[in-house]
Amino acid sequence: MAEERRGSWFGFGFCGFGQALGSGRGRQVHSPEPLQTPGEDADVCRVSASWSYTAFVTRGGRLELSGSAGCAAGGCRDAWASEALLVVLRAGPGRGAGTELQAWAPGSALSGEPLWAHTVGPEAEGEDAPGGEPQAGALPLLPGARAYVSPRPPFYSPLAPELRARRLELGAEHALLLDEAGQVFSWGQGRHGQLGHGTLEAELEPRPLEALQGVPMAEVAAGGWHSVCVSETGDIYIWGWNESGQLALPSRSLAEVGKTAAGEASGPKEDGSDVRTAEGESGGLAPFIAIQPFPALLDLPPGTDAVKASCGSRHTAVVTRTGELYTWGWGKYGQLGHEDTSSLDRPRRVEYFVDKRLQVRAVSCGPWNTYVYAVEKAEG
Partner 1 sequence: MAGAGTLREALRALLPPTKEELTLQLGETVERSVVRLLREAVELFCGGRGDECLQASEAILDYSWEKLNTGPWRDVHRDWRRVYAFGCLLKAVCLCEETGDAGAVAAALRVCDMGLLMGAAILGDILTKVAAVLQAHLPSGKRPAPGPAQEQPHEKKARHDHVRIPDVRSERTVPRLRCPSLQHFRKHFLVPGRPVILEGVADQWPCMKKWSLEYIQDVAGCRTVPVEVGSRYTDEEWSQTLMTVNEFISKYIRDEPRDVGYLAQHQLFDQIPELKRDISIPDYCCLGDGDEEEITINAWFGPQGTVSPLHQDPQQNFLAQVTGRKYIRLYSPQESEALYPHDTHLLHNTSQVDVENPDLEKFPKFAEAPFLSCILCPGEILFIPVKYWHYVRALDLSFSVSFWWS
The only residue of 104, 368, 371, 373 in contact with partner 1, by rule CB under 8 A:
368
Q: Is 72 an interacting residue with respect to partner 1 (CB under 8 A)?
A: no
Contact 276, 285 (CB under 8 A): no
> CB under 8 Å to 284, separation ≥6 — which residues?
none
Of 24, 20, 76, 69, nearest to 45 (Cα)?
A: 76
Q: Is 83 an interacting residue with respect to partner 1 (CB under 8 A)?
A: yes
Contact 77, 99 (CB under 8 A): yes
- Span from 45-53, 71-79, 114-122, 133-141 in contact with partner 1 (CB under 8 A): 45-53
Q: Is 109 an interacting residue with respect to partner 1 (CB under 8 A)?
A: no
Q: Is 290 an interacting residue with respect to partner 1 (CB under 8 A)?
A: yes
* φ, ψ for residue 224, nearest 5 deg: -55, -50
Q: What does DSSP say about strands 165-170 and 53-58: parallel, antiparallel, or unpaired?
A: unpaired
> Which residues, 329 to 348, sit near partner 1 by CB under 8 A?
332
- Least separation in angstroms between residue 188's CB and partner 1 is 10
Q: Is 158 an interacting residue with respect to partner 1 (CB under 8 A)?
A: no
Q: Is 201 an interacting residue with respect to partner 1 (CB under 8 A)?
A: yes
Contact 251, 259 (CB under 8 A): no
- Least separation in angstroms between residue 235's CB and partner 1 is 28
Q: Is 225 an interacting residue with respect to partner 1 (CB under 8 A)?
A: yes
- Least separation in angstroms between residue 51's CB and partner 1 is 7
- Span from 13-21, 55-63, 118-126, 348-356 in contact with partner 1 (CB under 8 A): 13-21
Q: Is 257 an interacting residue with respect to partner 1 (CB under 8 A)?
A: no
The Cα–Cα gap between 222 and 206 comes to 15
* φ, ψ for residue 268, nearest 5 deg: -65, 150
- Least separation in angstroms between residue 310's CB and partner 1 is 18
| One-character DSSP codes across 76-93 | EEEEEE-SS-EEEEEEPS
- Span from 2-10, 119-127, 176-184, 196-204 in contact with partner 1 (CB under 8 A): 196-204
> CB under 8 Å to 255, separation ≥6 — which residues?
275, 276, 277, 278, 288
- Least separation in angstroms between residue 84's CB and partner 1 is 6
Q: Is 359 an interacting residue with respect to partner 1 (CB under 8 A)?
A: no
Dihedral angle over CA of 243, 244, 249, 253, nearest 10: 70
- Least separation in angstroms between residue 289's CB and partner 1 is 12
The only residue of 23, 119, 199, 277 in contact with partner 1, by rule CB under 8 A:
199
Q: Across the strands, what pairs with 118?
A: 101
Task: Give 52 or 99: the residue with its C-beta nearer to partner 1.
Answer: 52
Distances (CA, A) of 164 to 79, 119, 160: 22, 20, 8
Q: Is 80 an interacting residue with respect to partner 1 (CB under 8 A)?
A: no
Handedness of CA 158, 371, 219, 1 (dihedral sign): negative
- Least separation in angstroms between residue 288's CB and partner 1 is 9
- How many residues in the shown chain lie near partner 1 by CB under 8 A? 30
The Cα–Cα gap between 248 and 236 comes to 11
The only residue of 313, 316, 359, 369 in contact with partner 1, by rule CB under 8 A:
313
Q: Is 107 an interacting residue with respect to partner 1 (CB under 8 A)?
A: yes
Q: Is 84 an interacting residue with respect to partner 1 (CB under 8 A)?
A: yes
- Span from 4-12, 131-139, 258-266, 371-379 in contact with partner 1 (CB under 8 A): 258-266
Residues of the shown chain interacting with partner 1 in the complex, contacts defined by CB under 8 A: 14, 16-17, 27, 51-53, 68, 83-84, 106-107, 172-173, 189, 191, 199-202, 224-225, 262-264, 290, 313, 332, 367-368
